[in-house]
Structure 1
Amino acid sequence: MASRKLYFEAVRVGEELPALTKTPVDRVQLARYAGASGDFNPVHVDETYAKSLGMPSVYAPGMLIMGFLGQLVSDWARGAQLRRYSVKFSKIVWPGDTVVCKGRVTERWGDEGRYFAELDLWAENQKGELVLRGGAQIQLFLSLEDENRQRSGQPPVVVPAPRESILPPAPPTSAPRKEPAVAAPVSGVKKATPRESHALRKVPEAKKSTKK
């Protein structure tokens, strides 16, 4: 039975990818990865060498953990094209660590018959500590109908798909200018003009009359 494909019409911003939990990393896996990848750096497979560098033991290559996170994307985005994938390593993964890969949809949009989604990705160990963070962009067919049309040589199905995002808007480059507060005028009282104000200041105090 063929795996169900993911189409753009089913993708929702904020949707969480099903978590992928890998079995605890062990030294046999590290040796197998070295043989499969051709990366025979002894710090990943030679206990004595790793300890000579001050490490408590051998540890997992970063690319292995990056592959775990990539599997999360490929398992969820079946039938999609991976346009971009990048990661940043945060913490070493040691033998015995369990890696849990997670992700969520942060953006989706369409552009003249092409449809995209942006993913926020990360991996944690069994303590909940972040070991890897990354992101990916995928391109999808709009729907099964759209896929069938394009595979038969017809134009794609084009529908409005404005950009949706859960990312906060960028802060303004400068704060808006604040005007000084002005007291509200009192009803029925005419505000004196500058000339009238000057004249009022010049009026001397009236002398008391002494005439009886």
Structure 2
Amino acid sequence: MDFYIPAQVSDSHPTGCSLVFFDLETTGLGRGCDIIQLSAVSGGHSCNLYMLPRCRIQSGAAAVTGFSVRRRHLYLHGHALPTVPLPQALAAFLAFLRMLGRPLLLGHNIRRFDCPMLARALDEWQLRAAFQEVSSGFLDTLPLARDLLRDRGQQSYKQESLVKTVLGVSYPAHDAMEDVRALQELYYALQPTAAQALKHTFTLASMVAPAK
């Protein structure tokens, strides 16, 4: 488990709310899948957690992420990783958010995938109320990027493609920590206004409504 908070000010939104960029890697795309990696950054603050899944990693997910399980140990591209139980990982994540003062959580395509996965894990361990106390909601950067770049001929709105187009760099995608670091740089390069950003905010409770 990597849980690093240096003594410096975190990034913040024009509204005054701290921003946390987060991402999950999972055993697959279905409802019964497990979280393998949970990563978050806010400025120089970071939180990186690995969990041994309770179900098999689907072949497609393994091919994309490089995760595998052998003899009850988690590996990434053949290297063994330290893991913590899911409830301990969630508690560490909540502690990270609490130290940043009820931040807004940002991620790419999170309304469709990451947030439902996170919500199921929080509900399984009766942590939804605790999560709501330490966070101010979510902002999905996928529809935000579509709004900001709609007149620039952008062909793909996958995060990798956006980072390549906007920042002019490539990075090792599908590692949650690398993804959130890249997304943080991408978000500040896009320079959305507070109004543009707030248009794409939501909460766990509001996810039952269809995304616009």
Q: Which structure features the higher share of helix residues?
A: 2
Which TM-score bucket, shorter chain as reference?
Answer: under 0.3
TM-score w.r.t. length of structure 1: 0.23
Structure with higher Rg: it is 1
